């Protein structure tokens, strides 16, 4: 079945009148001459006469066809693939950030990644979805994919739990759409996974030494960007390390401890299970310049001046449960570790959040890590995602007449018409050249 996206161009077929008129006028221009020595012409021009008889109508036909093909190409013909030829393997639409953060997400979303891997092994094509600043324009990306994909081909959408960022009415698709998300999901009829209706809120307590105020500024900026990106309501307070406990008061979900002092035991005890604690390296430790690479990251290696405890006894590692190394430098020593202690997830950064110490500051990777920190899923399988998707995105909207995905997605008729234009143009030039007057062969 064929349709035209720009049918007005078919009106250009009226241009056919041009070669027809030229042809008719050209025919009328033949001059009739009575001549005695026609014999001298006839003998040598028999083949040419045949050529002329054949040539002019052919050239005329080719020129007409060229115009028809050109008009057809400009009218953008589209075709719908026959039902029997529909694809059955799904198209995987995967959020790019999900792929980049696969290592950090750990085993908590094993089912999601197993499904993704199995589909890819089965030959399913993968298309990435870009995540930008909120509001997340997922719908237009899905509409675009829907327009280009074969009718009936199922979609499987893999995203981080950013569905709260979605705005606008969810479009309806004439295909099965299955959703996979890292969020705590409950499957809604028709697809989009929803979390609770409560918007995620995070309270941050920052305790920084006076000489680390600049470090604190960079870290808070990264957290603010991450919060905006992932739709988290963020509130932060600052306090000197020695007054940290006093400032803790109402509690905090994330504590940033940027100080040479050790984390006070009472502060640690006050933290609720599921809270996060971030600490940096002590300056009296040994400084080693190195590089590290973030698994799944896209920006290559990041320079770092790592702080190494000179005495392992001094390391706080002994006090904690076995930690997971999230980032490690090229020689294998940890740059960022995470360990769980009394329900609190403690991140130890073996350097400082300062440009003089690491290129991580100002690097997108810091924002991504901050986002994980706020979401609670970095190294925290089964975290407490409480973000919400708006109710309007849960169910597909009603499609108005004439809207919706392109019903004739196949462009091969247009490609065919364009190819035909090219071929006919070549033939026309060749015929015109070969029919042009030229010197006879001796």
Partner 1 sequence: MSRPARRLLDPATLAGIRDLRLVALAVVEGFLSGEHPARRTGPGIEFSQYRSYEPGDDPRRVDWRLYGRTDRFFVRESEIDSDVTVRLLLDASASMAQRGSGLSKFDYARFLAAALAYLAHKQGDRIAFRPLGGESALGEPSGGGAPSRDLAAVLHQLESLEPAGRWPAELGVEGLAAGRRERELVVLASDLCQHTSEILDVAVGLRLLGHEVIVFHLLSAEDLAFPFEGDLELVDLETGERVRGSGGELRAGYLRRLTVLLAELRRRLDEVGAVYEALRTDRPLDLALRHFVARRQRC
Residues that bind partner 1 (CB under 8 A): 26, 29-45, 48-49, 52, 437-440
**Owner of token pair 């997830």:** 345
Distance of CA 256 to the CA centre of its chain: 32
CA atoms within 13 A on the CB side of 383: 29
Phi, psi of 275 (to 5 degrees): -75, 165
User: Quick one: CA dihedral 240, 245, 250, 252, positive or negative?
Assistant: positive
* CB nearer partner 1, residue 32 or residue 121: 32
Beta-carbon count within 10 A of 425 CB: 15
Nearer to partner 1, 52 or 330 (CB): 52
Cβ 62 to partner 1 shortest distance, Å? 19
The sign one gets for the Cα dihedral 45, 50, 53, 58 is negative
For the four alpha carbons of 397, 135, 378 and 297, in that order, the dihedral sign comes to positive
89: nearest Cα among 115, 131, 123, 58: 123
Least distance from partner 1 to the Cβ atom of residue 431, Å: 15
Give the span between the Cα atoms of 188 and 379, in whole angstroms: 28
Residues in contact with 425: Cβ distance below 8 Å, sequence separation at least 6, in sequence order: 66
Closer residue to partner 1 in complex, CB, 47/82: 47
Cα–Cα distance, 415 to 12 (Å, whole number): 19
CA–CA distance from 359 to each of 147, 186, 293, 302, 433 (Å)? 42, 40, 11, 6, 66
Q: How far apart are CA 369 and CA 175, in angstroms?
A: 36
Q: How far is the CB of 60 from partner 1 (least distance, A)?
A: 14
Minimum CB distance to partner 1 smaller for 44 or for 249: 44
Smallest separation (angstroms) from partner 1 to the CB of 42: 5
Nearer to partner 1 by Cβ, of 37 and 88: the residue is 37
Closer by beta carbon to partner 1, 35 or else 311? 35
Distance of CA 218 to the CA centre of its chain: 27
- Tell me the H-state helices in 154-294: 213-230, 244-248, 265-270
How far is Cα 348 from Cα 360, in angstroms, rounded to an integer? 15
Q: Of 31 and 398, which has the nearer Cβ to partner 1? A: 31
Indicate if the alpha-carbon torsion angle 159, 164, 165, 167 is positive or negative.
positive
CB 263 within 8 A of CB 279: yes
Strand partners, 2: 79
CB of 424 to partner 1, least distance (A): 24
Nearest residue (CB) to partner 1, 33 versus 83: 33
Q: In this structure, are strands 344-349 and 334-341 parallel, antiparallel, or unpaired?
A: antiparallel
CB of 28 to partner 1, least distance (A): 10
Q: How far is the CB of 39 from partner 1 (least distance, A)?
A: 7
Q: How far is the CB of 71 from partner 1 (least distance, A)?
A: 29
Alpha-carbon distance of 282 to 262, in angstroms, equals 9
Nearer to partner 1, 25 or 313 (CB): 25
For partner 1, give the closer residue by CB, 33 or 391: 33
Q: Where do we find the tokens 């909120």?
A: 134
In the complex, what is the shortest distance from the CB of residue 86 to partner 1, in angstroms, rounded to a whole number?
A: 57
Query: Least separation, in Å, of the C-beta of 34 and partner 1?
Result: 5
Minimum distance from residue 437 beta carbon to partner 1 (Å): 4
Beta carbon nearer to partner 1, 250 or 440: 440
């Amino acid at each position: 079945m064929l349709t035209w996206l720009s049918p007005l161009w078919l009106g250009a077929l009226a241009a056919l009148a041009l070669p027809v008129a030229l042809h008719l006028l050209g025919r009328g221009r033949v001059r009739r001459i009575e001549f005695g020595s026609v014999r001298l012409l006839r003998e040598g021009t028999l083949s040419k006469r045949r050529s002329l008889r054949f040539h002019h109508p052919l050239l005329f036909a080719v020129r007409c066809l060229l115009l028809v093909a050109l008009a057809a190409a400009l009218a953008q013909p589209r075709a719908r693939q026959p039902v029997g030829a529909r694809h059955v393997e799904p198209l995987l639409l995967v959020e790019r950030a999900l792929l980049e953060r696969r290592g950090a997400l750990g085993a908590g979303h094993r089912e999601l990644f197993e499904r993704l891997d199995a589909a890819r092994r089965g030959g399913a094509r993968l298309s990435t979805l870009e995540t930008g600043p909120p509001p997340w324009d997922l719908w237009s990306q899905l509409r675009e994919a829907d327009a280009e994909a074969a009718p009936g081909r199922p979609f499987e959408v893999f995203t981080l739990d950013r569905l709260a960022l979605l705005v606008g009415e969810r479009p309806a698709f004439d295909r099965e759409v299955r959703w996979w998300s890292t969020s705590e999901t409950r499957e809604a009829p028709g697809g989009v996974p929803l979390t609770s209706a409560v918007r995620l809120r995070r309270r941050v307590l920052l305790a920084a030494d006076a000489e680390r105020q600049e470090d604190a500024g960079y870290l808070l900026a990264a957290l603010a960007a991450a919060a905006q990106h992932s739709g988290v309501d963020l509130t932060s307070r600052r306090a000197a390390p020695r007054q940290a406990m006093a400032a803790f008061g109402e509690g905090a979900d994330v504590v940033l401890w940027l100080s040479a002092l050790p984390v006070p035991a009472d502060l640690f005890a006050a933290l609720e299970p599921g809270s996060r604690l971030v600490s940096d390296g002590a300056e009296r430790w040994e400084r080693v310049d190195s590089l590290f690479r973030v698994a799944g990251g896209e920006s290559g290696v990041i320079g770092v001046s790592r702080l190494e405890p000179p005495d392992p006894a001094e390391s706080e590692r002994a006090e904690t449960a076995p930690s997971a190394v999230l980032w490690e430098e090229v020689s294998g020593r940890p740059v960022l570790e995470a360990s769980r202690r009394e329900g609190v997830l403690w991140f130890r950064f073996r350097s400082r959040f300062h440009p003089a110490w690491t290129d991580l500051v100002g690097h997108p990777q810091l924002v991504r890590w901050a986002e994980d920190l706020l979401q609670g899923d970095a190294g925290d399988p089964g975290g407490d995602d409480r973000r919400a998707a708006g109710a309007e995105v849960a169910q597909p909207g009603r499609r108005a007449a004439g809207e919706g995905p392109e019903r004739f997605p196949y462009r091969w008729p247009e490609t065919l018409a364009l190819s035909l234009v090219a071929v006919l143009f070549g033939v026309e030039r060749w015929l015109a050249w070969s029919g042009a007057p030229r010197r006879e062969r001796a």
